[in-house]
Structure formats: C-alpha cells, structure tokens
Structure 1
C-alpha cells in the first residue's frame, strides 16, 4: 500500500508557482490546487494573507488575476531558498566546513523584549542551538538568513574550538546539540512522498504537477527540522543526503513529463 503523503498547504501551491521575477496567472494556480484536492476558498484565503503580510501583490480577482512577489516577499523566499541551495551544495561536497564555530548573542534593550524573543526564535529556526541563556552556536555564518535590522541586535564571534558542558570534540558537540535521530526521522515524510508519487505516476492516478507539489511539501517539512550541519561533523553516510538525491531524481522525472519547468522557476538548485 502506498504511503499517504502530507496534505498540500495552499500557500505551498502559491509559492511554488511564484517566479523569482515576474507575474503568475492565477488560473493555473487555482487549477493545480483543485487537482491537488484544495478548494478555491482556502486558496483565496492564503492569497489574502500573503497580500496582507506584504509578500505578494495581486492584480485582478480570482482566476482572472495575477500575483507577483514584492521585494520583501522575494527577500523572504530568497532566504528560504538559501537553505535549499546550501543543502544541495553540501550533498555535492561544494560547501565544506571552514572549521569555525559561530557564537551569537542577542543584545536588545529590555523594552524591546518582543524583538529579542522573535530573534531568538529565528536563530533556532535557522539552525542555531542555544548553549546558554541568550547565547547560540552554529557551524554556519547565519548573517545571510537575517535581515539588516535583525543583525543589528546580535553580538557575533567565531572560534575554532568550543567546550559545551565539557564536550569539545566537534562531532560530539554536534550530536549533543543537533541529535541525528531527530533529523533523520523528519525525512521519513520525504521517502513517503517519493513512494506515493512514483506509484501515482505509474498508475496514472495523479498529474505530474500535483506530484511535484507533494514532493515540495514533504521536503519543506523535513528541512524545517534540519540545521544543515556540515557533513564533516557527521559520520558517513548521512541519510538526509541520500534522501535529497532521491528527491531530486523524482522531481526531475516529473519535470520530464511536463511541457517545461513550471514550479520554483529561478529558485531550484541543480541536481546534486
């Protein structure tokens, strides 16, 4: 029996069709969402929320309209895509660790507590680990994942070695702060999506675009739990690397069934 894939979020459909530059006609977004089992109303609600958040501008109404990323929306999606590009670069051995740890401390006035707490959450979301109150550690320079205002609230330092509660070996520090089991478990949804899509395509039960949306939803969910630790800090083979390669092969197979590349135009990295 085929694995049941994750439900596709309306926002995933919209973001998948938005090119890095230019507009997308909303009729194709609505048609594809309907084919994926998403009704018009949830999609309209997602569009309104993205407009209200300043991520997109919409011209026209409903299926006859168009949508386009704002500068802020393009920057936000661009930061998300940086993580994807880093993942595939690591998988190809093109992003080796430079041997330096990054220490980040949040420094804001007490009156700006909301900004402090939001920045702390964002540091965790970008893969940093809390090692003390207000102090975070990462093997990556996270500056590109933050906007200028957020970076102004950080005190940053680099170190070639760290001692985290008596642990100094880099691989042991990595396992203590970013346990492998939790990350690998998150990628189970990607394997399930690949299995589902391959079976659906063999039986003709699903359109190629819908299959790609299932793959996109699964990879996005998995990568939310992946701090993208450099492979030098993991033992080989690293399971997420193997799964992402299978994901990209499945994605490319679906693209060959389409008239051309339609989703994530200008965003998706080359095959690892």
Structure 2
C-alpha cells in the first residue's frame, strides 16, 4: 500500500457539474462508479453527486442506465465542460513560448457607441472583447496586442451592431505620456494577478508530476483526480490571460514556465496506459491536442485566441 504525500498546493474549486462533464469518455459515457470515486477524492459528497445527476438527466443532457455507483450515463450532446481547453488558444500560447509568434508592434483598437436600447448586445460585445484579452482604454474603447479584429467583427455582426463598431490599428499608442509598449502593457493589464495564477499552476504541476514519478503505482481514481485538478488549475491560469506577446511581458514570464510544467505533468498523466485511451475521458485527448498537437507549418501564421463559452 502506497502512502499518499501531503495534500500539496491548493487547487481551484471544481464544481460537481463540471466534474461530470470532464469525465465523459470518448464514447460519450460516464461511469458512475468512477465519478463517485473521483468526487469523493475531491471532497464532494455522494448526495451532491446524486442531486447533480438528477438535474442533468432532467435537463436532458444525459440519459441514465442503472442506479448508484453501477449506473452508466450517456451524454446527449457534447458537454465537455468548463475545464476543456480551447485548442487553438492554447496552441497559440505554446507558440509564443517557443518564440514562433513574434509581435509585429501593431496595436488593434476597437471603439463602439451602442444605444441603451441595444444594451444587451453592447454588453455582449464588451464581454467578447474582454474574453479575447482586450483591455479597456476608456468608455467604449478597447485595445489588444493580438489581431483579433475578424473575431470581434464576427461577434458584432452576429449581435446586429456591426455598424456601431470602429476598428483601427496603430504603432503609436499613448496613454497620457506613456508610450513604451511594455510599460503600457503593465498599465493596461493586471499582470501581477495573472502571474500569480500561473505560479499556482506551476506549483500544482510540479507537485503532481513528483507524485506520478514516485515509487508505487497510482490507482485510476488518483490519476483521474490529478487530471481534474491539473485541468482546473490550467483553466484558472489561462482564462484571464490575454496572451500578450513575450515582447510586452516581464521576463522570465511565469506563464511560460507554468505551461511547460503543465505539459510535462499532462504527459505523465496520460502516458501510463496508452492502450486504454478509449476508456479515458475525452479531456485527455483534448489536452493532448492542445499541448502537443502539430503547430502550423508557417512560422508567420499566428492562430489567434478563439472565443469559447466558459
């Protein structure tokens, strides 16, 4: 019997619903016994799980065969969940880390003045800009260091307010008297809090990789629990990260180290049973594609962050 090490770094909270979604296998099923075991390891009660499953079935998101821990759930759609990676967004981050997405020095600006009668659309466009990593300069004016213009325009078109959107680019952005790009980035984005999230991811990934390489084989529940914790921590670090080009960030940047450690940990988590890929949650494949999938052949091609509901 292997003695577990101390709890280690804290992990972001994982909701019961998110856990269910994250444990969906490639065939669209969830093994209830596996679900209850991982939920218990994460500090959830059986009652929490039962109530969550009842709601998900009532909503039509899953059908259920059997009862209790012997039940089998079948997803009726693609409920990958909040810890699934946006593959192209993550690939872009790793391309930046490898120096394959240099900044061209261009700032991308977006301005809009939407009347109060279209407040819902205005708020949705603002949220899309923030989700894509743009920072507010002043009321109705946002800036990004990434070329997200086509995505923003598509959102505005879908919302019916494209006529209210103005796009422009500049190599000479000033806020007050500040015009240095790196100092502007520090002024416009909360880099300290973003760095703290990456440091937390780095600590968790380091701890879990050490456990995975320690003598003694971890059981399936422990490996799945580590995977859920790593995925949640990775999402918590990446979600608020605007993926600023390295030229605009303090060096060394904690995000680069954290993503490298996360990739190492994910490789250790997924590499023990290659013949059992079909029985693992599809989350493993999605992270494998995001972290180790092929990068575009042209180094000048920079895949941009894509909006994804979280």
Runs of 5+ unmatched residues, structure 2: 1-5, 294-310
Distance (whole Å) between structure 2 residues aligned to residue 57 and residue 198 of structure 1: 34
Aligned to 1:245: 260
User: Structure 1 residues 246, 78: CA separation in 2 closer, same or farther (over 3 Å shift)?
Assistant: closer
Cα distance in 1 for partners of 2:160, 2:117 equals 18
| CA shift in 2, pair 1:46/1:130, >3 Å | farther
Spell out, residue by residue over 1:165-185, the C-alpha distance to the aligned partner (whole angstroms, 9 max, x if none): 222221121111124322211
Q: Which residue of 2 aligns with 1:219?
A: 234
Match of 2:166 in 1: 155
Deviation at 1:242, TM superposition (A): 0.9
My pick for the range that moved more, 258-267 or 213-222, is 258-267
Alignment of 1:1-272 (within 5 A): 2-18=8-24, 23-27=28-32, 28-43=34-49, 57-60=61-64, 63-70=71-78, 80-142=86-148, 143-144=150-151, 147=155, 149-150=158-159, 152-153=161-162, 154-198=165-209, 200-201=211-212, 202=214, 207-259=222-274, 260-261=276-277, 262-263=280-281, 264-268=283-287, 269-271=290-292
Structure 1 or 2, whichever has the larger Rg, is 2
Distance in 2 between the 1:104 and 1:247 partners? 34
Please, what is the CA RMSD of the aligned residues? 3.5
TM-score (norm. length: structure 1): 0.79
The alpha-carbon deviation at position 187 of structure 1 amounts to: 1.6
Aligned length: 267
Stretch of structure 1 that moved more, 149-158 or 170-179: 149-158
SS of the residue aligned with 1:207? Answer: helix
Deviations 1:170-227 (CA, angstroms, capped at 9, x unpaired): 1121111124322211223213322442454437677111111111111111122311
Question: Counterparts of 1:235 and 1:181 in 2: how far apart (Å)?
Answer: 10
